[in-house]
Amino acid sequence: MAAEVIDGKAFAADVRGKVADHVARLKADHGLVPGLAVVLVGEDPASQVYVRNKGKQTVEAGMHSEEHRLDADVDEKTLLDTVARLNADPKIHGILVQLPLPSHLNSDLVINSIDPAKDVDGFHISNVGLLGTGQKSMVPCTPLGCLMLLRDRLGNLSGLNAVVVGRSNIVGKPMAQLLLGDSCTVTIAHSRTKEIEALCRTADILVAAVGRPEMVTGDWVKPGATVIDVGINRVPNGEKTKLVGDCDYASCAEVAGAITPVPGGVGPMTIACLLANTVTACCRANGLEEPAGLTA
């Protein structure tokens, strides 16, 4: 039995449609335009693609979009000043500093200088703490997108076994928090985990966020499981390159009940959730009702 393909691209278009509807209402009823600022340090070509997509989709949803490009050798003070200006700017409701930053910059310091109310990535320590204690927060976009896909596919997640492979602050850990919040039994696996294949085979929900092309193969997957592939890896393909996930799609799809493809799975959801978080931040900043169904 071949797995059902979870169409993240279509789901993301649907989320962006809801965002655009809410943006139109904010404009008509309150004269408000939600604004997102993306800060990009250096010239990493892959990052530039994401930044371009974010800007385009932000404008398509009727929102205000700004890009702030800084040289790769920018000093920390200039970057912190940029963030401080955006914190104080009433047109801006969401700020994203693209990671990773060049190694001479302290990314914890920079991220924690963002106003937590404008931290649409949900990476500021106060948002991390709020999520970890089950309080209202800004939720990281990629895990939020994965949760939306899982709830849509499985309905109630309560009692399901979830294994998250990867323990990064931006994907693995917040993903585990969200699954725990939905009453899954959650295990986080990483590079030191023993017998990782057997562990993964216990998962009703398997989330791969490792950054290793096609590492997870079909023999790691429990028959019928839902597989969420977060990985975005650019690998050689003849003269050109192609994108592959952290899962070997062909073998996993033979065993899984449902699986997200790469591209067209989690990636588009990340951007849709970024727009959703920006609208949520704008509503909260103005004491208005938040859009239904766009937060965790």
Q: Of the listed 98, 173, 246, 248, which one is catalytic?
A: 98
Nearest by Cα to 151 from 287, 275, 276, 258: 258
The CB density around residue 94, as the number of other CB atoms within 10 Å, is 30
Q: Say if residue 168 carries a ligand binding annotation.
A: yes
Site for ligand GUE in 167-226 (CB under 6 A): none
Instruction: Tell the smallest beta-carbon distance from residue 40 to ligand GUE (Å).
Output: 9
Strand pairing category for 240-244 and 233-237:
antiparallel
Closest distance to ligand NDP from the beta carbon of 29 (Å): 32
Q: Is 262 in the site for ligand GUE (CB under 6 A)?
A: yes
232 is in an annotated binding site: yes
∠ at Cα 276 (87, 4), nearest 5°?
A: 145
Q: Is position 113 annotated in a ligand binding site?
A: no
Q: Any contact of residue 53 with ligand GUE (CB under 6 A)?
A: yes
CB under 8 Å to 21, separation ≥6 — which residues? Answer: none
Residues 6+ apart with CB under 8 A from 111: 97, 119, 121, 123, 124
Binding-site size for ligand GUE (CB under 6 A) equals: 19
Largest CA distance in the chain: 56
Within positions 187 to 226, which residues make up the interface with ligand NDP, using CB under 6 A? 189-193, 196, 209-212
Q: Does the annotation flag 166 for ligand binding?
A: yes
Strands across the sheet containing 4-5: 4-5, 258-259, 226-229, 205-208, 161-165, 185-189
Q: What does 233 bind: ligand NDP, ligand GUE, none (CB cut-off 5 to 8 Å by kind)?
A: ligand NDP
SS (HEC) of 165-191: ECCCCCCHHHHHHHHHHCCCEEEEECC
Binding to ligand GUE (CB under 6 A) within 111-150 occurs at: 121, 141-142
Q: Is 54 a catalytic residue?
A: yes
In the set 18, 57, 119, 121, the catalytic residue is 121
Q: SS3 helix, strand, coil % of the chain, rounded to 5?
A: 45, 20, 40
Tell me if the bond preceding 100 is cis, omega within 30° of 0.
Answer: yes
* 3-class state of residue 73 by DSSP: coil
Active site residue 18: no
Active site residue 98: yes
94 binds ligand GUE (CB under 6 A): no
Residue 121 binding: pick among ligand NDP, ligand GUE, none (C-beta 5-8 Å cut-off by kind): ligand GUE
- The yes or no reply on residue 110 touching ligand GUE (CB under 6 A) is no
Nearer residue to ligand NDP within complex by CB, 157 or 266: 266
Tell me the angle at which helices 172-181 and 141-154 cross, rounded to the nearest 10 degrees: 40
Residues that bind ligand NDP (CB under 6 A): 142, 165-168, 170-172, 189-193, 196, 209-212, 230-233, 246, 266-267, 270
Q: Report the catalytic residues.
A: 54, 98, 121
Residues that bind ligand GUE (CB under 6 A): 49-50, 53, 96-99, 121, 141-142, 232, 243, 262-264, 267-268, 270-271
